[in-house]
Structure formats: C-alpha cells, structure tokens
Structure 1
Amino acid sequence: MITRVEVVARRGPGGRTVLPVVRASGQLAVRRTGPTTIHLVATAFGPLGGDDAEVSLVVEEGASLTVHTVAAAVALPAREGDRPSVQRVRAAVAGALVLAPEPTVVTARAHHRAELTAELAEGATLAATEHVLLGRAGEEPGRWTGTTRVERAGRPLLHTTVALGPGAPGWLPPVAPRAYAATVSVGARLPVATGQDAVRLPLDDGWTATAWGTELHTVVRALAALEGVGEEVA
C-alpha cells in the first residue's frame, strides 16, 4: 500500500498556528487534536512488508507543530518475499517541530525501514523521538533500520543509520538489543552524559541521545533520565 501525508503549519492571525494544508491517503489519516497538535491515525493494520509511506511536514516561521500517533505501529512481514516496509518523514522547518510517535514493534520475519530527513532554517527548533521494539512477547525479533538526517541552514548536523535485528551487521549476540530509543533535539545544547547502556552526545546547537536494552519500558526510562542530566549550555 502507498501512503502519503502532507501537512503545512503556518502562523495565522494573533500568532496562532493554522493548518492550510492537511492531506492524507492510504494507510494513515490526520486529525487535529490541539492548537498545534496533530495525530496520525492508522486506517489499516500494519505496515506490511512492501508498504511505502511518506509524511511531508512544513512548519513555517512563527508556527509550531507537534505530531503524535494514536497507537503503536506493528510492522508485519510481506505476504510474499522479504520486502521491507518503509516510512519516510520529510520535514522543512522554519518554526518549531516536535515528533513524538508511539513505538514501532517489528514482528518476526518483518523488516521495517524508518527515515527522517529534516531541513531546518536558522532559528528553527526540532525534537524528534523514536522508540523501537523487536518482536512481540514470546516472539523472535524482526529487523529495523533507522536513518536520521538533519541539516540546519544548509549545513549538516547529523547523519546516522542504526540497524537492529537478524541480518544487521552490528547485531550479534551478546550485543543484540531488542529495544531501542533515541532523541534528537536542535535548539538547546546539553553536554555529554552517559548512563546504563545510554549516551547523550552534543550537536551544534543541539544534542542526540540513545538507549538500548532488552525491554522497551526500561530503555525509555533510561533515555528520559539521561535527558534530564545537566543544564543547557549557553
């Protein structure tokens, strides 16, 4: 299934955010749930292997947008063959964007690829989180590949790819975490910090943090604790 979502956030009268463009087709629908908040709602189960979803977000100067999902995404294997499912988020941001979806669960034999490409103007802010669990309870893990690219004023800030699950080059027991969480934040700098299987590293005018382990709830807690360490750097 091919899914396309397009949302434009613009500063309207009185400084409030308006959404002049909201379009969705395929596996996702969009609902505005607050003054600057939308939720993506799945209209079909999945994604299945071979599904292709692209979410385009434009946040103009003076506007704010927060994007959530209603429930966890459960990635399932293709009915035939071993094609991955793909979700791409492409964001052009001159205002403030927060991406905070529910977790992605990748079931046995499935391969899900997640891509985030964010092009930020000078003065724009971004906070994006990713929570991943490989396999349901009592199930073998699936495979997940996540790529994040962030540019600010045309300059690269971050380009990273993480591959987890059977077949991924760096995923070999005993280094084989089934749960992973990550945050990238641009607009407030924080120093280096480390925790149990967790690390936060500085970016130019931002930071990125990751945590990994066997259970998603413990990984999410470790990431949250790490994000609270240290004060903003001037």
Structure 2
Amino acid sequence: MTASDPLHPDEPHGGGVGQRLNWLRAGVLGANDGIVSVASLVVGVAGATTDNAALLIAGLAGLVGGAISMALGEYVSVSSQRDSERALIHKEREELRTMPEEELDELTQLYRQRGLTEQTARQVAVELTEHDALAAHLEVELGIDPDDLVNPWHAAISSAVAFTIGALLPLVAILLPPPSVRVPVTFVAVLIALAATGFIGAKIGGAPPLRASLRLVVGGALALAATWLIGTLLGTTGIV
C-alpha cells in the first residue's frame, strides 16, 4: 500500500509519518504547557493584585520565557535522538560492508522470530538484501526508517508556536474581564482548553480521549487553585 491508497485513506502509509507525528506531539505538548504554566502564573498574580500592568508583565514574561524554553528543550532532545539514529545507521552500514553473510543470517533469524519458516525467512532476507540491505536491517532490527528521521527544527518550532498560542488564552482571559470575575473566567477558559487539547492529543496517539482529557483538567485545576491560593495569601499578608 502507498500513502495514496484509496482503500484505506485513514491509515498512514509511506514516508514522513514519524516526522508528522513528532510535530503533532510536540505541538500538543507545547500548547498544554503554555496554557497551564501561564495560567498558573497570571492567576497567582491575580490572587495578589488587580493591577493590569502587573498581570500583563507576568503573563508576557511567562509566555516568552516558556516558548524559548520549550523550543530549546525540544531541539536538544530531538537532536540527541537523531544523532543516535544516525550513529546506528552508520554502525549497521559498516557491519553490512564488513560481514555481509553474518548480517544475512541475522536478518533471517529476525524473520524467523516473527513466525516465518526457515526457508521463507531466508528467501525474504535474501530478496530484501538484494533490494536494499541497509533499509531492511534498519526496519526489522532497529525500527528506523532512514528517509524519515526526526527533525529537531520541526519539533522546536512546533513547540514554541504551540506554547505561544496556548499561553495567549489565559493571558487574554485574565486581562479582558472585570477584576471581580477574571479569575473564574480564566479557570473556565483554561479547563475547557485543556480538555480540548487532551482530547486532540489522545486522538493523535490512539489513547482513550476521556481519560486523557480528565487527567489534564484535574491537573490544571489543581495548579490554578494552588497558585491562586498562594497569591491570595501573599496579597492578604501584604508581602506583595
């Protein structure tokens, strides 16, 4: 089957699947972090003061710092993963060059472990080796597609943009309403957004969406409540 297979249009086939999933994963993670971290920050400040300037400065500082941190973290993490994949590819290429017979036997045994008979496994190994020995070994032995390595720039940019988009929601929600209702409005907006991102993330990963959304909503509610309580206590005691 190919990526344009009309019989199974909803199934991912062909190259680029790993990179697309990595991009989506980083995006959903970045959005969640942006929502929770900036919401917790501005709600905490709102518990201590009603000054819009203080809320805006705190929210923007959290947005910019968080976006840069997310991008840097994703870039470093995915770069390390790609370096490891490249090292494994180089090692496998050298093994195929220096001991091709041993590698053919290894490939045969890998297919035997998947349930093929000795004769069939040998035939498959021989034919795949003749077609593209490196690709065959990388796929079966290491689960790597040399044409679909993860891209650290995709992950970094996706995380930074998603974090920024997620962070804008609580920032707008805390600044626009009147002071008397800004915290409840922010709570509701943030929890709805977390439920939505949890649902989307679960759908991408094939997990139960209700459970994923519930985890995020409960965790987000606890974070908001904790920071609001701290801000309220500090504001009441006159520390801030």
Q: Which structure has more helix as a fraction of its residues?
A: 2
Do both share a fold (TM > 0.5)? no
The answer to which structure, 1 or 2, has the higher relative contact order (CA under 8 A, 6+ apart) is 2
TM-score by length of 2: 0.22
Give TM-score scaled by structure 1 length: 0.22
- Select the structure of larger CA radius of gyration: 2
Q: Which has the higher strand share?
A: 1
